[in-house]
Amino acid sequence: MMRWVSWLPTPVLALGLCAPAIHVQAFELVSVQEMQASLAAAEPLSAKTAAVPGAPQIEIVYPKLDAPVASPTAIQLMFVPAASSVVRPETFKVLYGRLRIDITQRLINVAKVTAEGINVKEASLPKGTHRLLISIEDLQGRQGIKSLDFEIK
């Protein structure tokens, strides 16, 4: 019978198991190339629509957008459904810039989306102007949309 032996020495294994938690680095939410391509693109055409009555609201808790934002930054969104409904987290979507690049999965990979919202610890964005188009639906299929324009210093 063959016996498997670890190729890592025991002290290395022990070090890996006992090492203190290392600071998690910010993930790249948008690359410089994506930002530049989006800024160079024409403004997308969009139909003028009124807000759907009873649609969930998307509130920006963080970052504060009254001044340029430092990168990396935390991103915290809160979903506020109508009293008669519940938000469906699986319908969360985030599009970036004029090209409307779908960056939803990048956020979902680092933070859990719940019916209450999403909390991203550190997202890195390049210096410049950015636009996010965020949407979420409720159980009745009503879609709440929020557009965010902000500057990274």
Q: Check if the beta carbon of residue 123 is closer than 8 Å to that of residue 75.
A: yes
Within a 13 Å sphere around the CA of 74, how many CA atoms are in the beta-carbon half?
A: 9
pLDDT of residue 72: 92
pLDDT, tens digit, for every residue of 21-31?
334 467 788 88
Q: Check if the beta carbon of residue 136 is closer than 8 Å to that of residue 87.
A: yes
How many C-beta atoms lie closer than 10 Å to residue 40's C-beta? Answer: 10
pLDDT of residue 50: 67
pLDDT of residue 25: 64
Residue ranges of domains in the chain = 24-43+51-152
Residue 126 has pLDDT above 80, yes or no: yes
pLDDT of residue 102: 97
Better-scored residue on pLDDT, 78 or 19? 78
Q: Which residues of 65-98 are buried (b: 16+ CB within 10 A; e: fewer)?
A: eeeebebbbebebebebbeebebbbebbbbbbbe
pLDDT, tens digit, for every residue of 79-113?
999 888 999 999 999 999 999 999 999 999 999 99
| Domain 24-43+51-152 CATH assignment equals 2.60.40.1220 | yes
How many angstroms separate the CA atoms of 38 and 41, rounded? 5
